[in-house]
Structure 1
Amino acid sequence: MLDLRNAPVRNRSTTFRIAQDNLIGCAFGDFVPGCEGDPDPDRTFAFYRTQARNNMLAAAAINFPAVGTLAAFNAADIQGQAWGKVAGDMYEILEAAALWNAAAAWNQYMDSGAWPIDSTFVQPPRSIATPMRRVAIVELPRGYDSIRLLTPAARATYEAFQQALESHGMQLKLSSPDIVGLRIPDPMPSGYAQFLQPLPDLSPTNLLKLQRAHADIEGTIEGRNFLFAIAVKTSTRSDRLYQPLFEANVLKFIIGFVLRGSALKFHVHMEDFEGANVRQAYTAASLYSLMLGGDFARAVDHLYQAKKPRDTAQAILDTFPEYAI
């Protein structure tokens, strides 16, 4: 934690701030939850978050003994909204890291024809090894402009579409999901080599690698490279249920119609379904599929209750053979 008692934040009463990256590096500096190296890869997201929080509180009691007991820290700034944001970010980071490693196992199999023997993940049924089907799973930062991923030609197509809308006083912006799955281009640009190997841990170096990977592949993606997108939430209120639906419809229209790309799959991963009629909300149809006619599809293709990093990553991994191109 960062001590702000002698350097207060203006207009706020905050006395301590959670150093999120330090928290993750301390708790997971030796392994990625749910992956090889994890002493018990069957544990839940909730367990890992609780352990990380307990580590933080124990360290705080040692580093700031004058504050007093752990209860004093609990009653200060490390619960409520502050901890809720960190817990939500950690949930997404742990999932993104497990997905990275699942994709790395897949990519090693695509290149060698042999599934990695040390992987905690299982080879998906009906999978066939070919380097043309390697996958990168990339976490995108909040507020990121996804257009930066596109090749110059694809970006020009998108910007021409936007200019036409703007001439009529309208817009339909490509949103930024939490995580995207991409078919690695062939020939493979240098920025993708990192996705061929698993993250051994979430030490500061590898956490930064996870969080900065999107920057290494900017300017390389066409519409056909998009396979899936994932919205990650620990839980959601009823009034926020429709954000993923809007995001899914916009992504599918822009990638499928404007960029002439793949039939993007959209997933919502949520830890807790309580407090809202989640399952009913996500039966909404995809507007793009209705426009095309023929086979109708949902905007959210798959709603998944994500409780464990390994199981969540395996569930996505098992879909890889379903993509025709």
Structure 2
Amino acid sequence: MPFTFPAAPHADSQASVCAACHAAGTGCLLDVRQVKNNRSTKFQITQHRLLACAFESFTPGSIGDPDPTRTFKAYREQGYKNLEEAGKIIFPSDFELTTAQKGKVDGDVFEMLEAAALWNVAAAWNSFMDTGVWSHPTLKKPQGAVPTPKRKVAIIKMPRGGDTTQLLTPSARAEYQAFEASLSGRGMELRLSTPDILGMRIPDPAPPGFEIFDRPIPNLTIASQQRIERALDTVRGAFEGRHFLFAIAVKTSVRSDRLYQALFEANVLKYILGYVLRGPAIRFYAHMESLEGADVRGRYSAASMTSLLTGGTPTRAIDETYQALKPLETSQRVLDDLPTYVL
């Protein structure tokens, strides 16, 4: 299915495609009119199908994208436009979809678009690490990059409510559990947070299955989305504290009453990885599409508690607040950082 549909009576017009898709039970809209849930909602968006339909032939901002310079917003708006047209085609007399309904999936759609683009950053980097040849047509080779297979990376979308400790080797996890048990005995806890995206140094030699991070995501079909979402199953139990490079909190925007969530996550992550698991200083980034509605840059200039405790030069808890407007620019920003990690 195309990102933009040709006009009827073309065989691939949206009327033809959406009707066939709905008849096959693979449509992007779920009819809930008969569900007695005391809600006024008539239709629900099937997020994975929405993405699979709009991006069947390319990943936004990556190889194969006819116009990789577009914004995250432009990609999503076209997807929603396709969705609303599909509703009018399939349910011509009763279809309605509110802004609030789109808002329920918008953050997750934004996160998937960024996660796919950054997966492809890792694939481009790993290819250069293996071959010493930079051949990517849209991303530029980062300054200072030295090819060596020992510096390959995995950029992983973490599941909502996931457990970061599942990434740890048995010995590293035992260290964390001993720390957790000592606090629990005093009626306290300090649990390792789960960011939206984690950047990891692939162990050398790479465990079986890690070759998936050498292959780019060519599109956002259901199979491609599953590859991104199930990456945790591949890397489970493979990492020590020293393998964590960066974490990213991904948001379209943030309310003022939720500003401190990312600061708390950053401080906890840096303390546990740096002190309990004795890894290098992980970097924590906030990637936000909109900075309006709250003093994001002001609040996110807060110092890291761990850096203050050491008595050395203070650093920020959130190392960079980045306005993520375009997949290609966001990809290049993350790629340019990869040569700067010492270990």
TM-score of the superposed pair, with normalisation by structure 2: 0.90
Q: What's the counterpart of residue 96 of structure 2?
A: 73
Question: 2:93 is paired with a residue of what secondary structure?
Answer: helix
Question: 1:180 is paired with a residue of what secondary structure?
Answer: strand
Once the two structures are TM-superposed, the CA of residue 9 in structure 1 deviates from its matched residue by: 5.0
Question: 2:303 is paired with a residue of what secondary structure?
Answer: coil
Superposition pairs of residues 10-89 of structure 1, within 5 angstroms: 10-67=37-94, 72-74=95-97, 78-80=98-100, 82-89=101-108
Superposition pairs of residues 73-152 of structure 1, within 5 angstroms: 73-74=96-97, 78-80=98-100, 82-117=101-136, 119-152=137-170
Once the two structures are TM-superposed, the CA of residue 322 in structure 1 deviates from its matched residue by: 0.5
Rounded Cα–Cα distance in structure 2 between residues aligned with 1:56 and 1:103: 31
Residues 279-305 of structure 1, C-alpha deviations (whole Å, 9 max, x = no match): 110110000111112121100001100
Residues 58-79 of structure 1, C-alpha deviations (whole Å, 9 max, x = no match): 1111111232xxxx524xxx42
Q: What's the counterpart of residue 299 of structure 1?
A: 317
Q: List gaps (5 residues or longer) in structure 1.
A: none
Once the two structures are TM-superposed, the CA of residue 313 in structure 1 deviates from its matched residue by: 1.1
Question: 1:73 is paired with a residue of what secondary structure?
Answer: coil
Rounded Cα–Cα distance in structure 2 between residues aligned with 1:98 and 1:125: 20
CA contact 2:42–2:96 (8 Å) conserved in 1: no
Rounded Cα–Cα distance in structure 2 between residues aligned with 1:12 and 1:149: 40
Q: What's the counterpart of residue 226 of structure 1?
A: 244
Rounded Cα–Cα distance in structure 1 between residues aligned with 2:155 and 2:78: 26
Once the two structures are TM-superposed, the CA of residue 10 in structure 1 deviates from its matched residue by: 2.7
Question: 2:209 is paired with a residue of what secondary structure?
Answer: helix
Matched AA of 1:159 = Q
Rounded Cα–Cα distance in structure 1 between residues aligned with 2:179 and 2:104: 36
Structure 1 segments of 4+ aligned residues over 6 angstroms from their partners: none
CA contact 2:123–2:215 (8 Å) conserved in 1: yes
Matched AA of 2:121 = A
Give the alignment's Cα RMSD to 1 decimal.
1.0
Question: 1:138 is paired with a residue of what secondary structure?
Answer: strand
Rounded Cα–Cα distance in structure 1 between residues aligned with 2:268 and 2:279: 13
Q: What's the counterpart of residue 320 of structure 1?
A: 338
Distance 1:175 1:130, change over 3 A: same
Once the two structures are TM-superposed, the CA of residue 214 in structure 1 deviates from its matched residue by: 1.2
Q: What's the counterpart of residue 328 of structure 2?
A: 310
Once the two structures are TM-superposed, the CA of residue 105 in structure 1 deviates from its matched residue by: 0.3
Percent identity of equivalent pairs: 53
Once the two structures are TM-superposed, the CA of residue 236 in structure 1 deviates from its matched residue by: 0.8
Once the two structures are TM-superposed, the CA of residue 216 in structure 1 deviates from its matched residue by: 1.3
Once the two structures are TM-superposed, the CA of residue 191 in structure 1 deviates from its matched residue by: 2.6
Superposition pairs of residues 256-267 of structure 1, within 5 angstroms: 256-267=274-285
Once the two structures are TM-superposed, the CA of residue 15 in structure 1 deviates from its matched residue by: 1.5
TM-score of the superposed pair, with normalisation by structure 1: 0.95
Residues 249-270 of structure 1, C-alpha deviations (whole Å, 9 max, x = no match): 0000000000011210000000
Q: How many residues align?
A: 315
Are 1:191 and 2:219 matched, yes or no? no
Q: Which sits farther off after the overlay, 31-40 or 191-200? A: 191-200
Of 264, 286, 299, the match for 2:304: 286
